[in-house]
Amino acid sequence: MKLALDTSQTAGSIALWENGQTLYSACFNISVTHSETLMPQLDAALDFCNRQPADLEAVYLGNGPGSFTGLRIGLATAKGIAYGLKIPLRVFSSLQLSALQRHQCGKNILAVADAKMRELYAALYDENLNELVPPGVWEPEALLDWKLDNPYFVGSGAKLAQSLFEEKGIPCTPVLAQPLDASGLFHLAQLFPEDEAYNFEELAALEPFYLRESTAQVRAKSKL
């Protein structure tokens, strides 16, 4: 059995995978914080499936970019589980996870997440989820210079990007924004297989994929 987590956005997601299929999947809105919600969600998932933590063989994590606090909590939780059980931890781009919903749909996929402060986290993928433009943090206007070829727009920042492109008369195909579903991480692991083994040094060195400082830090510096 494998566990998948994503807390990169304001909504969190958790999933369990066993014998080639999703055993459990749930998304939850964060009315408090991920730190108060994530572990109870994991306990509920294991109880529902009549499983124990010791049944876990690997952990997959959506490691950002996204919410500064959410990423820290997600990685700390995933590391704690992997270290405690001595099981492998694989991390994936949360933008690639967002793009998964248009896998093999015939067009490039522009995955965008709201980075606040009128900026977007963005990456461009082909229909097979191969990276064409790596994740970065951008002002929306910067995306106008990308060679997009009428892509699908996905992610929490898609509406902001869409309005800009429509204003400039540039074609795009918006997709209704949906909460990230951590069960997609199992499919990404199959599409991009790697040897999975517990490695303490690699586990200890893992950091969240922030791309920039937190909004609070940026604002504090702007006042100096």
What's 68's domain CATH number? Answer: 3.30.420.40
What pLDDT shows up at residue 14? 95
196: left (phi over 0), alpha (psi -120 to 50) or beta: beta
Q: Which of 64, 33, 68 is nearest to 214 (CA)?
A: 68
Residue 99 lies in a domain: no
Residues 121 and 163 in one domain: yes
Contacts of 126 (CB under 8 A, 6+ apart): 108, 109, 132
- With beta carbons less than 8 A apart as the criterion, state whether 15 and 42 touch: no
Is the overall model pTM greater than 0.85, yes or no? yes
pLDDT computed for residue 221 by the predictor = 44
Q: Is position 210 within any domain? A: yes
pLDDT at residue 15 in the model: 97
Q: Are residues 146 and 201 in the same domain?
A: no
Q: 63 and 112 share a domain?
A: no
Rounded (10°) angle between helices 34-48 and 68-85? 40
Q: Would you state the pLDDT for residue 60?
A: 98
Sign of CA dihedral 49, 52, 57, 60: positive
In which region does residue 123 sit, left (phi positive, over 0), alpha (psi from -120 to 50) or beta (all else)? beta
pLDDT of 34 reads 57
Residue 17: give the domain boundaries: 2-94+180-222
CA angle, corner 49, sides to 101 and 17, nearest 5?
35
In order of 5, 37, 73, 77, 165, the CA distances from 34 in angstroms are: 11, 5, 7, 10, 34
Secondary structure of residue 84 in the 3-state scheme: helix
pLDDT of residue 98: 95
Q: Residue 171: left (phi > 0), alpha (psi -120 to 50), or beta?
A: beta
Instruction: Write down which residue in 152, 174, 196 finishes a domain.
Output: 174
The tokens for 24 are 């459990």
Question: How high is the pLDDT of residue 161?
Answer: 84
Q: What is the pLDDT of residue 166?
A: 85
How do strand 173-174 and strand 120-125 relate by DSSP bridges? unpaired
Same domain, residue pair 84 and 7: yes
Nearest Cα to Cα of residue 63 among 77, 51, 75, 50: 75
Residue 93: what pLDDT? 97
* Identity of the residue numbered 210: Y
- Asked if residue 39 is part of any domain, the answer here is yes
Which structure tokens are listed for 97?
Answer: 């996870």
Tell which residue, 7, 30, 208, 212, has the closest CA to residue 120: 212
What is the sign, positive or negative, of the torsion defined by CA atoms of 28, 34, 39, 42? positive
pLDDT beneath 50: ranges in the chain:
214-224
User: Do 87 and 126 sit in the same domain of this protein?
Assistant: no
